[in-house]
Amino acid sequence: MPKRFPSQGSGFPSLEGGDRAPGAGSSGSGSDGQGDGGLQAELDPSGLLDAFSDFLAHGRGYSGHTVRNYVSDLAQFLKYLQENESGRAVEDVDAFVLRGFLASRYGRNRKVSLGRKLSALRTFYQFLIRQGRAKANPASLLSMPRKERTLPAFLTVDDAFRVVEAPGQDDFFGLRDRAMLELLYGCGLRASELTGLDLEDVRLDLQAVRVTGKGKKERIVPFGKKAREALEKYLEARAAARAAAGALEAGDDKALFLNCRGSRLSTRSLARRLDLHLRACGLQGQASPHALRHSFATHLLDAGADLRSIQELLGHASLSTTQRYTHLSIDRLMEVYDRAHPRAKAEKKAKRKGQREPEVEG
């Protein structure tokens, strides 16, 4: 029987609330609560959902989070067909039926969720066409709902520094958390990208990390001296902890960031640890792991980095996704305009002159 990581009495305190193994206790966040296995079995006796799930995971390389959401969206659609189009095969559905399904969700889901459901249906009918079960894709006839313009949440530079430097440096978990936060903010990683890192993905000599993003696309992201120092300290503590614990389960030796049981840290545990440090800084509820990614992009843009470079670092497929960060810097751009543009200078000069001239009594 393999030994466990040392407990609190051995200098390795358990996490508050405890770390969970990847996926433990997960209810499919973002799936509108319709991803229940019993519901899927009832609506899908032919195993269509399972086949679609395999296609998404292995044929498209989608993340587990996306697969769960798409399968849940399809389960909702099958339930709608059963209740409103009884006897109609899913292969015979037209665009009007799909529009009716999306209309039935209007008001219960945000526009971004409705857009995801339409994407799931488009992908599903592409899958059916590849299987020879459908001749056309009715979902391709529908337009995506206009996205709500929401500005991403981000921290100020000072607050980001405070959060990253919040973890203590006197135990395994403090050293681990410091290294994680340095990479989150220093590289702009997604939570799943960070927890998915393996030891072989990090090159301390090059100060760069290989990241596997959405669609299994890889990119190389550099990191700074502070992150390298934090990683060096954590890796030393990690090696010592593993040596003290003995042999662990197969595969756990690959993961970069480990939980208290010596297995790969989950995204939920990452969020809990970040929240712990936010509370310590008096910033509870003001940030999430993704907010540190937004902060990374916003601070780079404010410092003069071009959008194309930020797009590459973030791993965005489209530049339009990166362009939303320009809205966060509009105030800074207006200040630059006021200081630099000759017309703005002339207007300011005229205002100052008008303020100095006293009114002439008639």
* Of the candidate ranges 41-55, 232-246, 297-311, the one whose mean pLDDT is the lowest: 41-55
Q: Is 316 a catalytic residue?
A: yes
Whether the pLDDT of residue 146 is over 80: the answer is no
pLDDT of residue 261: 85
Phi, psi for residue 135 in degrees, rounded to 5: -100, -20
Q: Identify the active-site residue in 214, 226, 242, 261.
A: 214
Are both 196 and 129 inside the same structural domain?
no
Q: Identify the active-site residue in 99, 242, 261, 316.
A: 316
- Sequence-distant (≥ 6) Cβ neighbours of residue 86 within 8 angstroms: none
Q: Is 293 a catalytic residue?
A: yes
Instruction: Provide the domain limits for residue 126.
Output: 37-141
Q: Are 190 and 245 in contact (CB under 8 A)?
A: no
Are both 95 and 191 inside the same structural domain?
no
Cα(266)–Cα(261) distance, integer angstroms: 12
Are both 126 and 158 inside the same structural domain?
no
Whether the pLDDT of residue 56 is over 80: the answer is yes
Would 146 be classed as within a structural domain?
no
Would 178 be classed as within a structural domain?
yes
Would 308 be classed as within a structural domain?
yes
Q: Is 214 a catalytic residue?
A: yes
Q: What is the CATH number of the domain that holds 303?
A: 1.10.443.10
Mean pLDDT calculated for residue range 236-255: 73
Burial (0-12, 13-18, 19+ Cβ within 10 Å), 285: exposed
Are both 51 and 187 inside the same structural domain?
no
Q: Identify the active-site residue in 60, 233, 290, 324.
A: 290
Domain count, the chain: 2
Whether the pLDDT of residue 330 is over 50: the answer is yes
Are both 187 and 216 inside the same structural domain?
yes
Mean pLDDT calculated for residue range 124-142: 93
Q: What is the CATH number of the domain that holds 66?
A: 1.10.150.130
What token pair was written down for 93? 């559905």
Q: Identify the active-site residue in 125, 185, 234, 325.
A: 325
Interval 275-308: pLDDT, tens: 999 888 888 776 788 888 888 888 888 888 888 8
- Closest listed residue to residue 324, CA positions, set 154, 193, 169: 154
pLDDT of residue 51: 92
Whether the pLDDT of residue 195 is over 60: the answer is yes
| pLDDT level of residue 233 (50, 70, 90 thresholds) | very high
Phi, psi for residue 222 in degrees, rounded to 5: -75, 160
pLDDT of residue 148: 62
Burial (0-12, 13-18, 19+ Cβ within 10 Å), 273: buried
Are both 115 and 224 inside the same structural domain?
no
Are both 199 and 306 inside the same structural domain?
yes
Beta strands at 208-212 and 202-203: parallel, antiparallel or unpaired: antiparallel
pLDDT of residue 336: 64
Whether the pLDDT of residue 71 is over 90: the answer is yes
Are both 214 and 302 inside the same structural domain?
yes
Would 336 be classed as within a structural domain?
no
Output the average pLDDT for the chain: 79
Q: What is the H or E stretch that residue 212 is in?
A: strand 208-212
Q: How many CB atoms lie within 10 A of CB 83?
A: 9
Q: Which amino acid is at 314?
A: L
HSE-CB at 284 with a 13 A cutoff on CA atoms is: 5
Q: Identify the active-site residue in 190, 273, 294, 299.
A: 190
pLDDT of residue 13: 33
Most confident of the ranges 27-41, 47-61, 174-188, 286-300: 174-188
Report the percent of the chain where pLDDT is more than 70.
74
Would 286 be classed as within a structural domain?
yes
Whether the pLDDT of residue 48 is over 80: the answer is yes
* Of the candidate ranges 106-120, 211-225, 287-301, 313-327, the one whose mean pLDDT is the lowest: 313-327
Interval 255-272: pLDDT, tens: 999 998 888 999 999 999
* Of the candidate ranges 92-96, 128-132, 279-283, 284-288, the one whose mean pLDDT is the lowest: 284-288
Would 357 be classed as within a structural domain?
no
Would 157 be classed as within a structural domain?
yes
* pTM for the model: 0.60
Are both 227 and 274 inside the same structural domain?
yes
| pLDDT level of residue 161 (50, 70, 90 thresholds) | very high
Mean pLDDT calculated for residue range 30-49: 53
pLDDT of residue 176: 96
Are both 43 and 115 inside the same structural domain?
yes
DSSP 255: B
Edge-to-edge strands, sheet with 218-222: 202-203, 208-212, 218-222
Q: What is the 3-state secondary structure (H, E, C) of 150-207?
A: CCCCCCCHHHHHHHHCCCCCCCHHHHHHHHHHHHHHHHCCCHHHHHCCEHHHEECCCC
Report the percent of the chain where pLDDT is more than 90.
39
**Distance of CA 103 to CAs 63, 80, 151, Å?**
27, 11, 26
Q: Identify the active-site residue in 117, 238, 293, 299.
A: 293
Would 205 be classed as within a structural domain?
yes
